[in-house]
Amino acid sequence: MGLYFIIGILVILLTGFLFSPLVLQVDTSKNHYAVRWGIGSLQFIPTPDDLLLSIGIGFWRHHFSLLNLLAKPSKKEQNSISKTKKKGQPRKPWPFQRLLRVIRTFHIRQFRLDMDTDDFVTNAYLYPVFRALSAPTRVLTINFQGRNQCAFEVKNRVINVLVALIF
């Protein structure tokens, strides 16, 4: 009875893992860079002198300094004798169609681009093109004020990627 209970819990967790949405949010105007997946989140927080990594699971949140993590020396001792690696069969590259199928599983929920080329003539030529390409979920604007901003939100599920890779 206890084994069935443990297997049931594992199946529920695996199902939640496969079907929970993975959301990537980027907003350059607010310096907001985040990945959310179920109850977990990962956020990059740029500061003037450092780059912080914030990891959150449920109510628990912890901040790491990426520069401190990268600057720490590795604890592995490097031996003067290098190990020889066995040569296996070379890996086949991914077919282009499979890569396209994986890319098509991603859904762009929102996209906003506010651009200035610093050239009035080029901005004038791009203005009607951006106006024609805009849609409710895809906002493309040209400004003459020197602002360059991009914001988007991309959503996917692990099961969609696995199905695209297998079939």
Percentage with pLDDT > 90 across the chain: 75
Please indicate, yes or no, whether residues 102 and 65 belong to a single structural domain of this protein.
Answer: no
Please indicate, yes or no, whether residues 100 and 164 belong to a single structural domain of this protein.
Answer: yes
Please indicate, yes or no, whether residues 110 and 166 belong to a single structural domain of this protein.
Answer: yes
From CA 35, how far away is CA 22, in angstroms rounded? 7
Flag whether pLDDT at 15 surpasses 60. Answer: yes
Residue 139 lies in a domain: yes
**For residues 20-39, average pLDDT:** 95
Q: Which pTM was predicted?
A: 0.79
**For residues 14-26, average pLDDT:** 95
Domain count, the chain: 2
Please indicate, yes or no, whether residues 65 and 105 belong to a single structural domain of this protein.
Answer: no
From CA 148, how far away is CA 143, in angstroms rounded? 9
- Residue 116's domain spans which residues? 96-167
- Determine the pLDDT at residue 116: 96
Please indicate, yes or no, whether residues 101 and 59 belong to a single structural domain of this protein.
Answer: no
Q: Would you say the C-alpha torsion 155, 157, 158, 162 has a positive or negative sign?
A: negative
